[in-house]
Structure 1
Amino acid sequence: CPGGYFGWHCKLKCENCEGEECDQDTGKCLTACKNGFYGHHCLFVCPANLYGDGCVNQCHCKHPGEVCDQNGVCKSGCADGWTGIQCQT
């Protein structure tokens, strides 16, 4: 299969894998999932208020109920006591 594809006749794309690199037979991501996805094949979307590889980072947005994007960025800015692009410090 060419890079970024796997499976029978190489018709499936490993689009949620970081660098779109996956095992050509199983589709399992070789490195990590793109931000916002998790699982061996990176098919699952992170739950609300979680982001990053494996969905282990929690959002700290200024407005209650706001959900950060898949990269951890809050449109309204950071909650009190949090700073940085992803409100993690």
Structure 2
Amino acid sequence: MLHATCVPGYFGPNCTMICPPNTFGDSCGGRCLPGCFVKDCHHVFGCSQNDTKPLPKVSQACKPGYFGLNCSLNCPTNTFGESCGGVCPPLCSEKDCHHVFGCLRNATELTPKTNSV
């Protein structure tokens, strides 16, 4: 599944998810340094505190399942694949949602069970 490159500060399906806490910019590749409060680390611009400088942004394309500075972070929980654009279905548990391949359980295992009368 291919996804367009997202604008800085966003990732995921249709580029609608903001970068995870303490990350920002292109491919969420910037990291706010320790000492920059989470509330001060803007998902597009980085740390807004004057005394802290964010690490440089990285705009390289990461392999599927990875994002961030040097593509060293796994996709956030319940997301996977290229640009972390895949989302595991609600019935797929966090432990079964692989950051590269998606849900490791097959569709029949994820079908809700109904009581027969």
Common fold: TM-score over 0.5? no
For the pair shown, which has the larger CA radius of gyration, 1 or 2? 2
Using CA pairs under 8 Å that are at least 6 residues apart, name the structure with larger relative contact order, 1 or 2: 2
Give the TM interval when normalised to the shorter protein: 0.3 to 0.5
